[in-house]
Amino acid sequence: MGIVYKAPGYIYKDTFGTSSVVVDVGCADDPDFSIHMIDKYGLKAYGVDPTKKHEPALTRLEERFQGKFKHVPLAVSAMDGSITFHESVDNTSGSILAEHSNIMKDEVNSYDVESVTLKSLIERIDKSDVDLIKLDLEGAEYELLNSVKKEDLAPFRQIYVEFHHHCTNHTIGETEKIVNAIENFGFTSFSLDDHNYLFFR
């Protein structure tokens, strides 16, 4: 099947080369998945993350990888426009969801960020074909993926999603519903647990 597991929970099909493109949404300040993929395949990765406190580290990575890594300071959600982002002071992960456990238990800095849909994200990075998109949206994946149509996922050969029913008010049942919907769009799903899913064609 050619599926690779990369700790802490990443899974992908080994189909990459130097011309491949990975979009790493919710990459945080240590985009270990992007770094792994650049080091292993020499491909180009876009690290998409709106968190202000992560900007210095991501800028340093742009300098380190000299064109192989590009920071894109946007949020990805079900809508285009301005959206409130909650930056956790102590935790790495913030969220646009006020009910995320990191946000509820920690001091936060909230500010408006630019949000884009998957369609708009592809337009912004100017890539019509993406070998893999990783979605680590800290709960926002539910509204996003419940709103997508088949054509919205057409640019992606592989989609890796970390579902966050364990730390939001969403349920495993909602995760399973989305998995079934994406399968009905022509993707095969693979998972080693109940919240990290790879979809591929």
Secondary structure (3-state) at 60: helix
Q: Identify the structural domains of the chain with CATH numbers, from first to last.
A: 3-78+129-200 (3.40.50.150)
pLDDT of residue 102: 65
The helix or strand, by DSSP H or E, that contains position 173, with its residue range, turns out to be: helix 172-184
DSSP string, 85-129: EEEESSSS--BS-TTSHHHHHS-EEEEEEEEE-HHHHHHHHT-S-
Q: For 41-69, what is each residue's pLDDT tens digit?
A: 999 999 999 999 999 999 999 999 999 99
Q: SS3 breakdown of the chain: % helix, strand, coil, rounded to 5?
A: 30, 30, 40
Secondary structure (3-state) at 39: helix
What is the Cα Rg of the chain in Å?
16
Evaluate if residue 4 carries a pLDDT over 90.
yes
Q: Which two tokens stand for residue 39?
A: 């080091």
pTM over 0.85: yes
How far is it, in rounded angstroms, from Cα 109 to Cα 155?
34
Percent of the chain with pLDDT over 70: 96
Evaluate if residue 91 carries a pLDDT over 90.
no
pLDDT of residue 181: 97
Q: For 103-146, what is each residue's pLDDT tens digit?
A: 677 788 999 999 999 999 999 999 989 999 999 987 789 999 99
